[in-house]
Structure 1
Amino acid sequence: METRRLQVLVELARLGSMRAVADTLHTTTSTVSQQIATLARETGAALIEPQGRRVRLTPAGRRLVEHATVILAAVEAAQRDLAPGAEPSGTVRVAGFATALRARVLPIIEQLADEYPRLRVLVREHEPAESLALLTADEVDLALTYDYNLAPATVDTALISVPLWTSAWGLGVPTAEADGTPAATSVEVFARFRSADWIGNSRNTADETVIRTLASMAGFTAHLTHRSDSLDLVEDMITAGLGVGLLPMDRPTVPGVRLLPLTGPDVLLRAFAVTRRGHADWPPLALLADLIGRRAHQG
């Protein structure tokens, strides 16, 4: 049933005359009659009956008007909620990596609770490939992902990826194994640890790609022995002497871990906000993405 036909029936119940309905809806009496007849065929019930020169609704017609009133009100409410200028309301589902959620999303949720009480944000922690799979399957509305400049990711054409921020990464090593003067280039840093065990990410291959790329440039094959998607655990592994691994330069390290800068080539993590094409204008999603972007640019 088309909502325009339901609107015709509701107006007929209110005005009691096809001519009055035609005048109100700026159409013809013949069109009103055709719309009612089509609606009757769709429902399989007689909706009107003659009453002198006029018509009146049958019991089935009156019952359908009750449903139509609710349906039309729901459609109008949906249009208000989805309109570009509407006040954000509803539920936005976000999947992203832990660092982004902790630093960029959780503080915003507190702000939204005060300013937009009808807006709810659901959070799921996932690595990029997992988040993108959920986004493609329409199980989340926004994916916060990352890649590295030395391990660029490809994004499906059905998705839109917007850059958020970049951060420099270095090599975390045991303090006892780091001399006082860092090597000049990333290749030289890696060459110094050619015999070390290496720690990679257990749920994302980007770290491993960066490690293997720089190791190859330094003339050796990295021995990736341990894996973890927790930066805290990576640091604990380094402190325990289990190996060396990539860590963000802007993150304070625990005692026993020394960060060596990686430059020439730099190792840069690049964060992105990814949405399905055509969905970014939905007011709740647009608001959340905008706030995350602003927070990212503020550092």
Structure 2
Amino acid sequence: MDFARLRTLRELSLRKTMAAVAEALLISPSAVSQQIAQLEDETGIELVERRGRGVRLTPAGQRLVDHAGRVICILEEAKTDLAELKTVAGELRVSAFPSIAASLIPPTIRAMSARFPDLVALFEELEPDDSLVALRAWQTDVAIVDDLTTSASLSETQVEMLHLLDDHLHVLLPRDHPLAERPHLTLPELATERWVLDTTSITYSDVIVRACRDAGFDPIINARCHSFEVVRAMVEAGCSVSINPGLRGREYIGTLRLKEIRPIITRRIFVAFRTGERRNPAIAEFVNELRNVVASMAATR
């Protein structure tokens, strides 16, 4: 069986649509469909079932994906074994979500470039769920994720997680808001406010809505935005309040007021990589440098 076709089938099991696989593999959707059809001809059995715009693997398709995953793991382990014999060089693909990427990624890449000029770190901004999909599909090598907005299990066997830091969610207020001088706030105190939500990650906005409901009210949402810049502008103009990660708030607060929520809402942030690949010198050095950046941030708080 052709290895490229096996990988395409595995991508399909992760991404669910031909279009998503095509985008990930940089080929056309028709090429994806053709590769799956050729693989079905090779095996003599139906591997996928069309369901509307998406597809679902048949039992035979899922079993073949399980075998393909083990084959790919063996090949990646061989690459890691060889990488241990080399200096830190080549390409390292990194992904992270916006609110943490702005704080951690630039200083880490700068330090890595200074220490290892032959290593090229390629960064892509991805939400945590997308990062884990990319990691499992060998589209990225290192992913920064959190436990608050990740729907997948953080204890899966294919991925190894190392805890980086904890971050607390904060209320973002206009500077002249009546509650702006309070040291901290509870969610019920904001029950009558109008809210702006950053909906770049639906999972993250759902976390906020769920927290409000747990506190006894449905938030009055008057804006849904796809960037923190618009969220900040809405709050700054006095149109809304919002909840944002503490790290992002400290970096971009400007004239606004950032107030910790009580009881504290914490998100745990992890660096993730495929199981066993910390032996790869480039990954090991990048993880160590990330930890150094986190330590320096903690020292300056």
User: Aligned partner of 1:171: which letter?
Assistant: V
Paired with 1:270 and 1:138, the residues of 2 have a C-alpha distance of 24
Q: Using a 3 Å threshold, how does the CA distance of structure 1 residues 151 and 119 change in structure 2: closer, same or farther? A: closer
Q: CA deviation at 1:180?
A: 5.8
Q: 1:205 aligns with which of 199, 202, 206?
A: 202
Secondary structure of 1:291's aligned partner: helix
Q: Which 5+ residue runs of structure 1 have no aligned equivalent? A: 1-77
| TM-superposition CA deviations, 1:179-212 (whole Å, max 9, x none) | 365386x5xx322221223222322234324322
Q: CA deviation at 1:98?
A: 2.6
Partner of 1:259: 258
Asked if 2 retains the 8 angstrom alpha-carbon contact of 1:82 and 1:283, the reply is no
Paired with 1:91 and 1:83, the residues of 2 have a C-alpha distance of 12
Asked if 2 retains the 8 angstrom alpha-carbon contact of 1:182 and 1:261, the reply is no
Asked if 1 retains the 8 angstrom alpha-carbon contact of 2:171 and 2:243, the reply is yes
Asked if 1 retains the 8 angstrom alpha-carbon contact of 2:163 and 2:270, the reply is yes
Q: 1:281 aligns with which of 275, 279, 282?
A: 279
Q: Which 5+ residue runs of structure 2 have no aligned equivalent? A: 1-77
Asked if 2 retains the 8 angstrom alpha-carbon contact of 1:147 and 1:153, the reply is no
* 2:133 aligned with 1:136: no
Partner of 2:124: 124
Partner of 2:157: 157
Paired with 2:106 and 2:227, the residues of 1 have a C-alpha distance of 18
| Identical amino acids, percent of aligned pairs | 23
Paired with 1:272 and 1:107, the residues of 2 have a C-alpha distance of 17
Paired with 2:274 and 2:182, the residues of 1 have a C-alpha distance of 43
Paired with 1:117 and 1:181, the residues of 2 have a C-alpha distance of 48
Q: Using a 3 Å threshold, how does the CA distance of structure 1 residues 261 and 153 change in structure 2: closer, same or farther? A: farther
Q: CA deviation at 1:116?
A: 1.5
User: Aligned partner of 2:161: which letter?
Assistant: S
Secondary structure of 2:211's aligned partner: helix
Paired with 1:153 and 1:162, the residues of 2 have a C-alpha distance of 16
Q: CA deviation at 1:152?
A: 7.9
Q: CA deviation at 1:119?
A: 1.1
Q: CA deviation at 1:226?
A: 2.4
Paired with 1:151 and 1:90, the residues of 2 have a C-alpha distance of 30
5 Å-filtered alignment, 1:194-233, equals 194-233=191-230
Asked if 2 retains the 8 angstrom alpha-carbon contact of 1:235 and 1:254, the reply is no
Asked if 2 retains the 8 angstrom alpha-carbon contact of 1:164 and 1:297, the reply is no
Paired with 1:129 and 1:151, the residues of 2 have a C-alpha distance of 5
Q: CA deviation at 1:141?
A: 0.5
User: Aligned partner of 2:278: which letter?
Assistant: A
Partner of 1:272: 270
Q: 1:237 aligns with which of 234, 237, 257?
A: 234
User: Aligned partner of 2:292: which letter?
Assistant: R
Secondary structure of 1:284's aligned partner: helix
Matched residues, number: 216
Asked if 2 retains the 8 angstrom alpha-carbon contact of 1:134 and 1:140, the reply is yes
User: Aligned partner of 2:182: which letter?
Assistant: P
Paired with 1:225 and 1:160, the residues of 2 have a C-alpha distance of 40
Paired with 1:197 and 1:151, the residues of 2 have a C-alpha distance of 27
| TM-superposition CA deviations, 1:58-98 (whole Å, max 9, x none) | xxxxxxxxxxxxxxxxxxxx989835364211111011123
Paired with 1:183 and 1:109, the residues of 2 have a C-alpha distance of 35
Paired with 2:283 and 2:253, the residues of 1 have a C-alpha distance of 35
Question: What TM-score, normalized to structure 1?
Answer: 0.63
User: Aligned partner of 1:154: which letter?
Assistant: S
Q: Using a 3 Å threshold, how does the CA distance of structure 1 residues 89 and 224 change in structure 2: closer, same or farther? A: same
Paired with 1:121 and 1:169, the residues of 2 have a C-alpha distance of 29
Paired with 1:153 and 1:122, the residues of 2 have a C-alpha distance of 24
Question: What TM-score, normalized to structure 2?
Answer: 0.63
User: Aligned partner of 2:198: which letter?
Assistant: N
User: Aligned partner of 1:294: which letter?
Assistant: N
Asked if 2 retains the 8 angstrom alpha-carbon contact of 1:147 and 1:269, the reply is yes
Paired with 1:226 and 1:154, the residues of 2 have a C-alpha distance of 31
* Structure possessing the higher radius of gyration over alpha carbons: 1
Q: Using a 3 Å threshold, how does the CA distance of structure 1 residues 286 and 208 change in structure 2: closer, same or farther? A: same
